[in-house]
Amino acid sequence: MEWRDQGILLVRRKHGETSAIIEVFTAGHGRHAGVVRGGAGRRMGPVLQPGAKLDITWRARLEDHLGSFTVEPLGGNAALMLADPPALSALNAICALLAFALPEREPHPALHEATSSLLGSLAQQDPGWPLAYLHWEMLLLAELGFGLDLSSCAVTGRCEGLAYVSPKTGRAVTREGAGEWASRLLPLPPCLREGVGETGAPDGGLLEGLAITGHFLAHHLAPSLGDRPLPGARQRLIDTLARLQRGAAEKTI
């Protein structure tokens, strides 16, 4: 068995003295693992870092075997972000969540394209990457069957005046529809009310939006995977964004 594809490196684990087992996210083959001979050595070790773009060839005797990778580097996102700790934190969160959530060998081409685009924004220090990251988490949930429906109110059917999200169903709700249940719902921030793909600033409720996606990652997605805790890299990113937001607020005072 053999195939060739391009992928984003998610995880590297040492295997034996000099080899490594890596997991990559490819457009055509999803999250896929394999052994890289010499992957822990001096030449390949620095190349095989989370976020690295690789041209890979996978070979195995049988399809269900672990198999081995031959890799050629296409670029390293982490190296471009070393001078930007928040962006590096986002890269680590992206790779950790993909490794945590994606089923093995199941293609998700739309998510792969969005991930490549987001990593490009991080590497280019695009100031809009925090909002793009939030929308990426929304897409991750949707791709894995836990998407939010913010198109209309689950109670009244109205498309205007959406103010909350049901923590159980992921459906939007208006203030009128929420009624006495409002305190049990999640506030719907402007950056999500405006719709995925719209531009906006962090003060449009970025952290509130991440609290919503975090709820569905932790209480809907994670239980479906055996109730494992979310990767710590995601919380470290949230903490970083919160500090940035506090710092920006203090500068305006």
Mean pLDDT score, 64-78: 86
Give residue 199's pLDDT. Answer: 39
* β pairing state of 149-153 and 171-174: parallel
Q: Please state, in angstroms and rounded to a whole number, the distance separating the CA atoms of residues 43 and 52.
A: 15
Give residue 78's pLDDT. Answer: 66
Q: Element (H or E) spanning 46, and its range?
A: none
pLDDT above 50: residue 184:
yes
Q: Residue 56 pairs with which residues in a beta bridge?
A: 5, 71
Give residue 79's pLDDT. Answer: 63
What angle (nearest 5°) sits at the alpha carbon of residue 205, between those of residues 231 and 214? Answer: 20
Amino acid, res. 125 = Q
Question: 195: which DSSP letter?
Answer: -
Query: What's the pLDDT tens digit per position in 111-123?
Result: 999 999 999 999 8
Amino acid, res. 52 = A
- All residues at 6 or more sequence positions from 231 whose CB lies less than 8 Å from its CB, including other chains: 93, 96, 97, 99, 100
Question: CB neighbours (10 Å) of residue 225?
Answer: 11
Going from N- to C-terminal start, the domains of the chain cover: 2-77, 127-252
* Nearest CA among 89, 232, 213 for reference residue 140: 213
* Nearest CA among 80, 151, 97, 91 for reference residue 118: 91
Alpha helices by DSSP H, the chain: 77-81, 85-101, 109-123, 129-143, 175-178, 190-193, 206-216, 222-224, 232-252
pLDDT above 80: residue 210:
yes
Q: What is the mean pLDDT of the chain?
A: 91
Given a contact cutoff of 8 angstroms between Cβ atoms, the answer to whether 136 and 94 are in contact is yes
Given a contact cutoff of 8 angstroms between Cβ atoms, the answer to whether 126 and 148 are in contact is no
Q: Give exposure, 175-188, as e/b (b: 16+ Cβ within 10 Å).
A: eebbeeeeeebbeb
Which of 67 and 125 is assigned the larger pLDDT? 67
Mean pLDDT score, 78-106: 90
3-class DSSP state for residue 34? strand
Mean pLDDT score, 235-241: 97
Class of the CATH-defined domain 2-77? mainly beta
Q: How confident is the model at residue 45 (pLDDT cuts 50, 70, 90)?
A: confident
Q: Which residue has the tokens 């949230």?
A: 238
Dihedral class, residue 55 (left if φ above 0, else alpha if ψ from -120 to 50, else beta):
beta
3-class DSSP state for residue 244? helix
Reported pTM = 0.92
